[in-house]
Amino acid sequence: MAAEPGKVDPMHQFRIEPLFGTDHWQIAGYSIPFTNSALWMAITVVALFLFVQGGMKRQLVPGRWQMAVESMTGFIDDLLAANVGPAGKKYVPYIFSLFMFILFANMLGLLPLGLVGVHPFTFTSHFTVTGVLALLSFSIVLIVGFSRHGLHFFSLFVPHGTPIWLLWLIPFIELISFLVRPFSLALRLFVAMMAGHVLLEVLSSFVITSANSGPLWGTVVGIPSFILMIAICALEILVAGIQAYVFALLTSLYLNDAENLH
Amino acid sequence: MEPASAKLIGAGLAAIGAGMAAIGVGNVFGSFLESALRNPGAADGQQGRLFIGFAAAELLGLLSFVVAMILIFVA
């Protein structure tokens, strides 16, 4: 359904467009242009690299920047120690990269760069991106599980204390809940980011349309919508952090299943 | 009924799911706060479980949002 002309289209912000005239780039007949999504992924990686690099001075008495980086790594370290135990130590690099990448992506997508005419693109609001991240976590779980436990990994589908007469049903339910994990992981991040951005866009269209239709409607509708927008922006910053945390937390829980069964 | 209007009505009905998920999320945090105030010492250790519960409750609301979006923009 296309928006009428003159209206703000809330889905336009999610459009992926080729940049810098690269739309004719092809490999084996497939178009691989350098898109705004790829650009913002690159920006996220650069920002993350600079952030971590600034804290790698390894001073004995850490400065503010080093404290910021170390509190992040310490946070992920604690998360894995609490959820996976001692075996979780080796996943700290992966979970840290995952958490910081998603956190930076969500935060960069919220930057008010529209004021200077740059459109920040939240690539975590695309199922392709979050789906790949979720599949990465899921395949690590599968690889670790099968390499550590072999075919014994399938005992994951039969929890301890399952009554014999329920053995025909429980493994089936556990299998479905196991297979649905990558979808729920990817869907949660993608929809949470998309919903927030659509909401902000809809509220901004309220402000613009009401301000255009005279001072009365501008005061009655526009100003409350604008105040609500500011509040929702604060909520979105919270959601950006929570969703990155939930992604890292659920990945570490799944890794716990793979490491220790249950 | 026109298929187009049925789609929009269905998308509106999906908002009920979002509201129900709001009740669920409020329940998760409300119960956590209630018991955290009873035993503040044990509260910090349960934060992981708090967010697991939050994630589970929130996912169902997000699913209803997806249903609405599919009805409006895809179907």
Q: How far is B10 from chain A (nearest CA, A)?
A: 15
Chain B residues touching residue A1 (CB < 8 angstroms): 72-73
CB–CB of B52 and A83 under 8 A? Answer: no
Residues of chain A with pLDDT under 50: 1-3
Given a cut of 60, whether residue B68 has pLDDT beyond it is: yes
Chain B residues touching residue A192 (CB < 8 angstroms): 58, 62
Candidate CATH numbers 1.10.1040.10, 3.30.450.20, 1.20.20.10, 3.30.565.10; the one for domain B3-74: 1.20.20.10
Residue A123 carries which side chain, given as an amino acid letter?
A: F
pLDDT > 70 fraction of chain B, expressed in percent and rounded: 99
Query: Taking residues B46-56, what's their average pLDDT?
Result: 86
Nearest C-alpha in A relative to B45: A82
Angle between helices A92-110 and A127-149 (to 10 degrees): 170
Strands (E), chain A: 26-27, 30-31
Q: What is the pLDDT of residue A16?
A: 77
CB-based contact, A211 to chain B, within 8 Å: no
Q: What is the pLDDT of residue A28?
A: 73
CB–CB of A249 and B65 under 8 A? Answer: no
- Partner residue facing A249 (CB), from B52, B59, B62: B52
Residue ranges per structural domain of chain B: 3-74
* Cβ within 8 Å of A, B 10-49: 48
Contact criterion met (CB below 8 Å) for A187 and B62? yes
Q: What is the pLDDT of residue B23?
A: 94
Q: What is the pLDDT of residue A7?
A: 64
CB–CB of A11 and B62 under 8 A? Answer: no
DSSP state at residue B44? G
- Partner residue facing A188 (CB), from B58, B69, B73: B58
Q: Which of A15, A199, A246, A252 to mutate to test the interface with B (most CBs of B within 10 A)?
A: A246
For B18, residues 6+ apart whose C-beta sits below 8 A from its C-beta are: B61, B64, B65
Contact criterion met (CB below 8 Å) for A175 and A157? yes
ipTM: 0.77
- Partner residue facing A246 (CB), from B51, B63, B69: B51
pTM score above 0.95: no
Nearest C-alpha in A relative to B18: A195
Q: What is the pLDDT of residue A1?
A: 42
Task: Please name the residue that has the structure tokens 């690269």.
Answer: A22
Given a cut of 90, whether residue B43 has pLDDT beyond it is: no
CB-based contact, A195 to chain B, within 8 Å: yes
CB–CB of B48 and A195 under 8 A? Answer: no
User: Cα B44 to chain center, whole Å?
Assistant: 24
Q: What is the pLDDT of residue A3?
A: 46
* Cβ within 8 Å of B, A 225-244: 242
Residue A173: both structure tokens together: 């339910």
* Rounded-to-integer distance, Cα A224 and Cα A181, Å: 40
* Rounded-to-integer distance, Cα A188 and Cα B60, Å: 9
CB-based contact, A1 to chain B, within 8 Å: yes
- Partner residue facing A195 (CB), from B48, B62, B72: B62
Average pLDDT, chain B: 88
Q: What is the pLDDT of residue A2?
A: 45
Chain B residues touching residue A79 (CB < 8 angstroms): 48
Q: What is the pLDDT of residue A212?
A: 85
Contact criterion met (CB below 8 Å) for A189 and A124? yes
At A35 the three-state DSSP class reads: strand
Q: How far is A23 from chain B (nearest CA, A)?
A: 25
CB–CB of A191 and B66 under 8 A? Answer: yes
